[in-house]
Structure 1
């Protein structure tokens, strides 16, 4: 008996074994009824039957082995993808999802081979069946991972949003304590709270922005007419106060008016300068040079330090990338490795671009911003 015919005839027996195995996948399956345990299993098997019954060229077989099987134009999701989505929502993990396909493969082949006795099963059917199961598994795993990643990003986004309010309360209380002038010990404690709160705020902002990009929302900006000289002078003053042991130079020239999101550009510059402080040679200045052109403004952040190797340069704006520090800023706690990624995304949101060059003499981050977004 050919395999497609067997699956059609004995699909209920196969589904019974699928259900029996799915019921063992605890704790997720503990309170699921028969319909939920069999979720989309029938449709997956029907797709397998259609697949192995369809003539296939060697080229099509090779493409499928690479995960490039054709998709139905009128089907936004395959049965395997929908199965993965519902399993993820039920609390299954990815190992349990893969185990379902492993058990399905074994039970179908075992039942079919028993049915074929005393004859031998068709080897080509067996190969085609394994290909079809592998394709369904790949679709399920890929979709499952997407759903888990999206859920994780949504959770982190909500967490970051909800943490802002208590953090602001801590910062306001610390500022109130500092203003009381209640003695040196209280003032020092309040100052530590203020610095730590600012640090937490920066980490929280980076986390929330990273989540927006992972969710496909990008960095949000609200452009308005600003003077970049004033915007940058303000953030440089804040950075000097946060890093009293480092010299930060600001060189601005000419007309720096344009339409930008001033707060976002402060965040961009702050990330670049903080990076330069952390990775630059201690005791050397960090220089910020801002120059205008007719339709754009350019600025550079320069620091002295060892050259960055090419492999690091190639991925320096990728998220969660960090290199070895040269100094002791922040007691070695530099952050999540998102600063340069966020800086790059802010530049892109303004239709600008950011680049980096590094030699034995210095490292230079260059940003180009059109005057109008």
Structure 2
């Protein structure tokens, strides 16, 4: 019997085995009823059987094997895509989703080969079946990934929105307490609140910006005429308050006016300096220098300390990268987004950011067109 006919004839047995396996995928399947466990299994198998029965040229087979099967624009959602959507909403992870297809493949082939005895199974059916399962798996994985990304972006957006008001209340209250001059105990507590609030604000800003970039919106900038010397001095003053034990030096050698988003470039500088404070040698200052010419301004943030490993340099601006040496003890206080956000801010201004590192120092260098 050809495989397509076998699938349609023994659909009940195959789907029952699918259900039995799906029930083992805990904890998501713990409270699922039979209908939910079988979710779209029959429709997926019917699509596979239809595919097996469809005449296919060698060229079409080659294209399909490389994931380039013809997809009609505006075509309805496939059973595999709907299955992925519901599995994502049901709490399954992507490994469990893939495991369902792996188990289905093994189950169908085993049952069919047993049924074919003593005759040998048709080899072309095996090839076509594997192609069809791979196609369904690819559709499911793509849809599952999109669904998970959408859920994550929605969560990050909600957190970014809902956390701002209570955080601002904490910061305003801490500033008020610090201004009361109510004694050393209150002043120390207020200073601690101010520092913690600043760290939380930085994490929140990075999270919101990361979410925007993942949504394809990029970093929003509002360019205006600004003086980077003044803006950078103000930013470093705030960082010195939050990190009183760290020395941060600023050297401005040239005229540094231009058309940029001042707040964003303060954020860029803050991320680079915080990175230098986190990973640099404690007994040496972080050195910030600003130079320029008619076309652009160049910013460099330097620190002494362990060299960045060569293998880490290529991914240091990737999101969610935290630490690059065994001496990093502060990675838990960071989301690993600071350098990624800094790069995106530079790109939004038509600039670029690079890093070089050796046993002497680590230097992050930013080039910003003046855009006058």
TM-score range, shorter chain: 0.7 to 0.9
CA contact (8 A) 1:253 1:290 kept: yes
The verdict on how the C-alpha distance between 1:198 and 1:2 changes in structure 2, with shifts beyond 3 A counting, is same
**Shift, 1:175, TM fit:** 1.4
**Shift, 1:33, TM fit:** 7.8
Task: Describe how 1:132-171 pairs up with structure 2 within 5 A.
Answer: 132-171=132-171
Give 3-state SS (helix, strand or coil) of 2:225's partner.
strand
Give 3-state SS (helix, strand or coil) of 1:180's partner.
coil
CA distance in structure 1 between the partners assigned to 2:62 and 2:356 by the alignment: 46
Q: Which residue of 2 is the match for residue 323 of structure 1?
A: 324
Q: Which residue of 1 is the match for residue 366 of structure 2?
A: 367
Give 3-state SS (helix, strand or coil) of 2:161's partner.
helix
**Shift, 1:155, TM fit:** 1.1
CA distance in structure 2 between the partners assigned to 1:167 and 1:186 by the alignment: 19
Deviations 1:287-317 (A, max 9, x none): 2221222232211112223432321222211
**Shift, 1:30, TM fit:** 4.7
CA distance in structure 1 between the partners assigned to 2:348 and 2:78 by the alignment: 35
CA distance in structure 1 between the partners assigned to 2:105 and 2:220 by the alignment: 47
Give 3-state SS (helix, strand or coil) of 2:308's partner.
coil
**Shift, 1:262, TM fit:** 1.0
Q: Which residue of 2 is the match for residue 190 of structure 1?
A: 190
CA contact (8 A) 1:281 1:327 kept: no
Runs of 4+ in structure 1 displaced over 6 angstroms? 23-26, 325-328
**Shift, 1:121, TM fit:** 2.4
The verdict on how the C-alpha distance between 1:372 and 1:79 changes in structure 2, with shifts beyond 3 A counting, is farther
**Shift, 1:283, TM fit:** 2.5
CA distance in structure 1 between the partners assigned to 2:360 and 2:19 by the alignment: 67
Q: Which residue of 1 is the match for residue 351 of structure 2?
A: 352
CA distance in structure 2 between the partners assigned to 1:182 and 1:61 by the alignment: 78
Q: Please provide the CA RMSD for this pair.
A: 3.2
Which stretches in structure 1 are left out of the alignment for 5+ residues? none
The verdict on how the C-alpha distance between 1:249 and 1:92 changes in structure 2, with shifts beyond 3 A counting, is closer
Give 3-state SS (helix, strand or coil) of 1:250's partner.
strand
Which stretches in structure 2 are left out of the alignment for 5+ residues? none
CA contact (8 A) 2:291 2:299 kept: yes
Q: Which residue of 1 is the match for residue 202 of structure 2?
A: 202
Task: Describe how 1:45-56 pairs up with structure 2 within 5 A.
Answer: 45-53=45-53, 54-55=55-56
CA contact (8 A) 2:309 2:325 kept: no
Give 3-state SS (helix, strand or coil) of 2:305's partner.
coil
Give 3-state SS (helix, strand or coil) of 1:312's partner.
helix
CA distance in structure 2 between the partners assigned to 1:149 and 1:275 by the alignment: 28
CA distance in structure 2 between the partners assigned to 1:357 and 1:20 by the alignment: 55
Q: Which residue of 1 is the match for residue 248 of structure 2?
A: 248
CA contact (8 A) 2:351 2:366 kept: yes
**Shift, 1:368, TM fit:** 0.9
CA contact (8 A) 2:288 2:301 kept: yes
CA contact (8 A) 2:171 2:193 kept: yes
CA distance in structure 1 between the partners assigned to 2:274 and 2:25 by the alignment: 48
